[in-house]
Amino acid sequence: MRPRVIFTDFIFSIRAFLRSKGTLFWTLAFPVMLILIFGAIFSGPGDVEYEVHVQDFDDTELSNGLKTIFQETGVLKIVNVSTNLDVMEYIEENDVKRLIVIPKGYGENITKSYDPNASINLTYYFDQSELQTNQVVRSIISNIVQSMNMEFTGGRNIIGIDDKETITGEFDYIDFFLPGMIGFTIMQSAIYGSIERNTKYRKDGILRIGDGLIASHSSHQPFIIFIDSHY
């Protein structure tokens, strides 16, 4: 094919694209509207704060100090949980996304940091469906714990973290990613498929737009007419 033919076809396609108000709207204006709308809904305030529930079975000066450190990050909002409550029931009834359990003996083991056998593990319950949020919160908690290990033992892990998922069953990232991508693809296909069909029907004379009814006769197929006085 000669370059002149390719160029002519390209110019014709551009002109056909620019002449269709519907195509311009769905291709250019509609994506921008979606970005602005969803951006306004989900952007949220500039200062982000994540709620973390804490069940403290130790209730010592050191365990309370740990909660204070979490709170002073300015990112974690600590909610104290009664030790009389069953942790899994509490999570389910209150739809808790993140919860830390400080076990009995936390303070005692910290004071024995000189003992190489002394260690204590915090238990971190999290909702694995909130992948991005959990990564942020888990990273903050891990950094705090590592800093405390450096302070108490010079680097040995006297404080550890046990991760426990609060959703039953085995879920991977793809289990949450795939349904969203399928829905997005269906929505996108419906939008652009409608544009292509409407353009083709208008070109073939099946769809007609004007200030009034336009008669069209066919012995085989019915016709469809849209009326839009602003076109």
Considering the domain 50-171, what is its CATH architecture?
3-Layer(aba) Sandwich (3.40)
Residue 105 structure tokens = 């003996």
Residues of the chain short of pLDDT 70, as ranges, are 1-2, 5, 9, 39-47, 167-173, 175-176, 190, 193, 197, 201, 206-231
Contacts of 16 (CB under 8 A, 6+ apart): none
Query: Which pLDDT score, from 0 to 100, does residue 40 have?
Result: 67
User: Which residues neighbour 22 within 8 Å (Cβ) at sequence distance 6 or greater?
Assistant: 195, 198, 199
Instruction: Supply the pLDDT for residue 209.
Output: 54
What's the pLDDT at 173? 66
3-class secondary structure, 159 = strand
What pLDDT score was predicted for residue 153? 82
